[in-house]
């Protein structure tokens, strides 16, 4: 494995200027350790994907611990999680470093997500009832008419969650939840141009589900998810996050 480029370790003051405010720091010590490490992982993930922590940069563990009001243990646990996701790499006696993010990493993420969502949609097509279809149509109509991007994101999440809950086994839902945590919300939250495509994809998915056409619901879900990934890739390229 190639050695990442070493960069200057940030002080607590440096990290303070880089991090967004973290709600509830004063009670961080009262939270379960698992919750704290998940919170830390979310923050580091966000810093990687917004370009604050750059490829090859050493993760400033002490500064992050001080800034987030946690001990080094949740930081280490968070880094183990991020290493399993391929976002950081650890080197003995040197620390943890940000791994370059390549286009194929994001492509694979969305292809895998699409495969699993497609399987859930295929099964959901055989389990749909009138109230569920009606609820999907309501969510779709609200997404078509809203001008609030935050609201659109929440409606979109509810739309796919309803399909996943209807057709997905507990195992599928567990995997989808895990994949949903692998990218920060800000990364996949309505990249430019994606809303029109999303509404078109949702209409196709609803039609397949209402017709009880499992194979079409599967394909429509996969293509919809991959298209979303294309917009995310374009966004990350524009922001200089992906390795060229």
**Pick from 1-10, 51-60, 205-214, 235-244: least confident:** 1-10
Residues forming beta bridges with residue 90, ordered by sequence position: 96
Q: How far is CA 67 from CA 19, 22, 59, in A?
A: 8, 9, 13
What pLDDT, on a 0 to 100 scale, did the predictor assign at position 4?
39
- Asked whether the beta carbons of 168 and 115 are under 8 A apart, the reply is no
What pLDDT, on a 0 to 100 scale, did the predictor assign at position 16?
41
What pLDDT, on a 0 to 100 scale, did the predictor assign at position 111?
96
Tell me how far the alpha carbon of residue 17 is from its chain's centroid.
24
What pLDDT, on a 0 to 100 scale, did the predictor assign at position 31?
53
**pLDDT category of residue 26 using cuts at 50, 70 and 90:** very low
- Residues with Cβ within 8 Å of 19's Cβ and at least 6 positions away in sequence, in order, are 43, 47, 52, 64, 67, 68
Quote the DSSP letter at residue 242: B
How far apart CA 42 and CA 40 sit, in angstroms, is 5
Q: pLDDT, tens digit, for every residue of 177-236?
A: 889 888 888 888 766 667 888 999 999 999 999 999 999 999 999 999 999 999 999 999
What pLDDT, on a 0 to 100 scale, did the predictor assign at position 196?
87
Quote the DSSP letter at residue 98: E
> Mapped to the 3 state alphabet, what secondary structure does 73-96 carry?
HHHHHHHHHHHHCCCEEEECCCEE
Looking at the domain 103-238, which fold is it? 1.20.120
Choice between 51 and 11, residue whose per-residue pLDDT is larger: 51
- Confidence check: pLDDT of 8 > 50: no
- Torsion angle of the four alpha carbons 24, 27, 33, 35, in this order, in degrees rounded to the nearest 10: -30
Cite the residue boundaries of each domain of the chain with CATH code 1.10.10.10.
12-98
What pLDDT, on a 0 to 100 scale, did the predictor assign at position 17?
44
Provide mean pLDDT across the span 157-182: 93
Q: Which residue has the tokens 């960069």?
A: 7
- Confidence check: pLDDT of 58 > 70: yes
Among candidates 221, 225, 203, which has minimal Cα distance to 139?
Answer: 203
Q: Which two tokens stand for residue 218?
A: 């599967």
Question: What letters, b where the CB count within 10 A reaches 16 and e where it falls short, cover 158-191?
Answer: ebbbebbebbbeeebbebbeeeeebbbeebbbbb
- Confidence check: pLDDT of 22 > 70: no
Cite the residue boundaries of each domain of the chain with CATH code 1.20.120.530.
103-238
Provide mean pLDDT across the span 38-45: 93
Check: CATH 1.10.10.10 for 12-98?
yes
């Amino acid at each position: 494995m190639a050695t990442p480029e070493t960069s200057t370790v940030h002080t607590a003051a440096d990290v303070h200027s880089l991090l967004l405010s973290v709600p509830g720091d004063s009670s961080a010590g009262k939270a379960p350790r698992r919750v704290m490490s998940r919170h830390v992982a979310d923050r580091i993930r966000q810093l990687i994907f917004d370009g604050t922590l750059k490829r090859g940069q050493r993760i400033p563990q002490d500064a992050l611990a001080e800034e987030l009001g946690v001990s080094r243990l949740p930081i280490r646990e968070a880094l183990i999680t991020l290493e399993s996701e391929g976002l950081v790499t650890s080197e003995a006696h040197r620390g943890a470093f940000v791994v370059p993010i390549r286009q194929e990493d994001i492509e694979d993420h969305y292809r895998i997500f699409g495969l699993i969502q497609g399987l859930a949609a295929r099964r959901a097509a055989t389990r749909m009832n009138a109230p569920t279809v009606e609820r999907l149509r309501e969510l779709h109509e609200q997404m078509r008419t809203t001008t609030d991007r935050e609201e659109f994101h929440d409606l979109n999440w509810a739309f796919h969650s309803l399909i996943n809950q209807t057709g997905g086994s507990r195992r599928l839902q567990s995997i989808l939840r895990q994949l949903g945590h692998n990218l920060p919300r800000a990364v996949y939250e309505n990249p430019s141009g994606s809303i029109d495509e999303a509404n078109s994809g949702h209409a196709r998915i609803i039609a397949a589900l209402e017709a009880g056409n499992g194979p079409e619901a599967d394909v429509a879900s996969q293509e919809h998810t991959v298209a979303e990934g294309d917009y995310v890739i374009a966004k990350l390229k524009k922001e200089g996050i992906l390795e060229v």
